[in-house]
Amino acid sequence: MGLRPVTRNDEAQLPPPLLMASVIINHDVYYLRLQFDRMSFWFVSDDPKTEMHSGYATVWETFHLGKHGAAPTFILSQLDRVLDRFLDAYLKANVEGPTVQK
């Protein structure tokens, strides 16, 4: 039981991943959420002959709750900061670094 990792060969046949950002503002408080979803596959039992299921699964997310001081640029700067953090994490997990030769 559990998720099956997707190989690089499988990725060309999958729907694209989703990056979703949402911002909710209520008076002087804001809620910012960033979520990255990828297509995933799983079996309901340990027997691989059972029916395989698929759907999007959240593989990275973060949220912030705070006061914005009536400054829309503050919220945009927070979103920019979170997007930078996501990009760093994504590149670290998905891009192979240079090989070191000895």
Tokens of 57: 């699964």
Average pLDDT over residues 64-68: 91
**pLDDT at residue 32 tops 50:** yes
**pLDDT at residue 40 tops 70:** yes
**pLDDT at residue 65 tops 90:** yes
Higher pLDDT, 4 or 39: 39
3-state secondary structure the chain: CEEECCCHHHHCCCCCCEEEEEEEEECCEEEEEEEEEEEEEEECCCCCCCCEEEEEEEEEEEEEEEECCCCHHHHHHHHHHHHHHHHHHHHHHHCCCCCCCC
Q: What are the residue boundaries of the structural domains of the chain, listed by start? A: 2-94
